[in-house]
Structure 1
Amino acid sequence: MSGRPPISGVVTTFNNASTLDACLASLAFCDERVVLDSGSTDATVEIARRHGARIATKPFAGYGPQKQHAIDLATHDWILLLDADEHLTDAGREAIELELRNARADGYRLPRQEWLFWRWAHPHARGNWQLRLFRKSRGRMNTVPVHAAPVVDGDRRDLDAPFRHYGEPRLADRVDKVNRYSSGLVVHKRQGGVRGIGMRILLQPTLAFLKLYIGKRYFLDGWAGFFAARTHAFYTFLKYAKLLEAQRSSDEPTLRS
């Protein structure tokens, strides 16, 4: 769109052939699309090439470092960062194009609409706001090992530019992800220090369930919303339970033969 600065659409990939086409198609308005692949064995790279994306390959270095490397490859200052299983809506594209003609901030949080097992979240459910549009010169990825996200040194705003996340289609896939992610956070949380772990184990899962089921209105999504809120509560339980387990295990005496 005339009058706005150029945008780099940035995506990291690994075996995302089932969702990458929709992702890159939604970024067609960007002035370049950068895809950093970590060794896909399916049609991911072929799909990226078909969309005219600039493709690079790098072994997976962790969520944050991998995304940061992809951002560093971008030519333009404005970055629109999506995961390969996400896509920008038409309304989101229009909002971004309009806003950047006279940008009021250095970074923007956008509302993410979730796929809940077999349906998209209800239109009146609240989106998960995430910072995905930002100036490369003012932002970079944080160091959280699993939930790495951009941080911006400058003004931030919420922009009603929706994007969609095609999450796990099966409950088993969701439980597997919950297990992997909760394990990935243990070292990070031990380094940062967490107080009151026992109370967190007892209280936080219930609060996490209520935050989604009531606060984000997942009750509007029937059983799909209930499953999503309940597995999120289970994730909250696991990340603190595994942390307590790790602490207790390190206190055990070393067994010698």
Structure 2
Amino acid sequence: MEKLSVFITTFNNAHTLPFTLESVKWADEIVVLDSFSTDETMAIAEQYGCKTAQHKFMGYGPQKQLALEMTSHNWVLLLDADEAPCPELQAEIQALMAEGPSKAGYTIARQEQLFWRMRTTKNRMNHFLRLFDKRNGGLDDIPIHAAPKVEGELGRLKHPFYHFGEIDIHTKVSKINSYAQGLVADKVAKGRKGNPWMMVFYPPFFFVRSYLFKRSFLNGWAGFIGSVIATFYVFLKYANLYEHYQFEKHGDSLLPKGAPSTVALREKGRKTV
């Protein structure tokens, strides 16, 4: 039988954290690493008897890695503060821990809130590595979508976990704009160039894949809206990368002489984020 640690990073998640913690209160340990929340997040974590600490936000990968290092047991379950395993998944994980896992880690399907409804389970859901033996790996350093990486064979669990992060269109659009900008530095560091043709040809392909092949149409108009916004996110990633290299190439040279420096304003904005 293996003991299980759940680790969660938080920042002002008082709205969703109780549901998350309630769904894993059966675990042997729950670790919550907070980025100095100003709401009731820490009080909620302490109410559930979590092992808590606070640390200035270092980026998604490093922050989650630090939370992982706070765990006491070899087997760990990574959750965000707006996620929770469904009841069937809870039972599946408990049975797996009792039996003893045979793989290095396990991927789990994520069932998303889609504005005013949950996505249907008839969608082709994305699977993520969330349950794993930490002796086989840890978190990568991708700035936005940090994820565990382990060595060894992976299994796949049958039931999904819920994600309640996309409560409305405004929240979704704000999030994708932030994500698209945040990924630029990582792509530049990896030598990715800003190819404008990717803005033209890839988003339409992505929409067809999302709306038809992944069956988002089964979610009604919410599925259509979600697919359009996700397609816009794909466009923004390539547009922001292309913009980066245009500023690097031209600076303010294409603006009227004496115009306010856009480059200076952009640098000032980055320092205040």
Identify the residue that residue 143 of structure 1 maps to in structure 2.
141
Cα distance in 1 between the residues matched to 2:64 and 2:93: 21
How far apart in 2 are the matches of 1:244 and 1:189?
11
Residues 117 and 167 in structure 1, CA contact (< 8 A), matched pair in contact too: no
Normalising by structure 2, we get a TM-score of 0.89
Q: Kindly indicate whether residue 65 of structure 2 is the aligned counterpart of residue 30 of structure 1.
A: no
Tell me by how many angstroms 1:213 deviates: 1.1
SS in 1 for 2:89: helix
Out of 67, 71, 74, the position equivalent to 2:68 is: 71
- TM-score, normalisation: structure 1: 0.95
In 2, Cα distance between the equivalents of 1:39 and 1:189? 29
- Counterpart of 1:238, as a letter, is L
Unaligned runs of 5+ in 2: 259-273
Match of 2:218 in 1: 220
Contact 2:194/2:241 (<8 A) preserved: no
The 2-side partners of 1:119 and 1:82 are apart by: 21
Instruction: Select which of 8, 11, 14 maps to 1:11.
Output: 8
Query: Any gaps of 5 or more consecutive residues in structure 1?
Result: none
Residues 196-231 of structure 1: CA distance to partner in whole angstroms, max 9, x if unpaired?
Answer: 722311122112222221222110001111111111
Question: Partner of 2:17: helix, strand, or coil?
Answer: helix
- State how far apart, in whole Å, the 1-side matches of 2:144 and 2:193 are: 21
RMSD of the TM alignment (CA)?
1.5
The question of 1:128 aligning with 2:138 is answered no
Structure 1: how far apart are the matches of 2:156 and 2:19?
24
Query: In 1, are the aligned partners of 2:2 and 2:100 still within 8 Å (CA)?
Result: no
Partner letter of residue 175 of structure 1?
V
**Residue from 248, 251, 257 that aligns with 1:250:** 248
Compute the displacement of 1:252 (Å): 1.3
Q: Does 1:54 align with 2:44?
A: no
- How far is 1:119 from its partner? 0.2
How many pairs align? 254
Residue in structure 1 matching 2:171, options 163, 170, 173: 173
d(CA) in 2 for partners of 1:68 and 1:82? 13
**Are 1:81 and 2:117 matched, yes or no?**
no
Alignment-mate amino acid for residue 96 of structure 2: E
User: In structure 1, which of residues 193, 200, 216 is the aligned counterpart of residue 198 of structure 2?
Assistant: 200
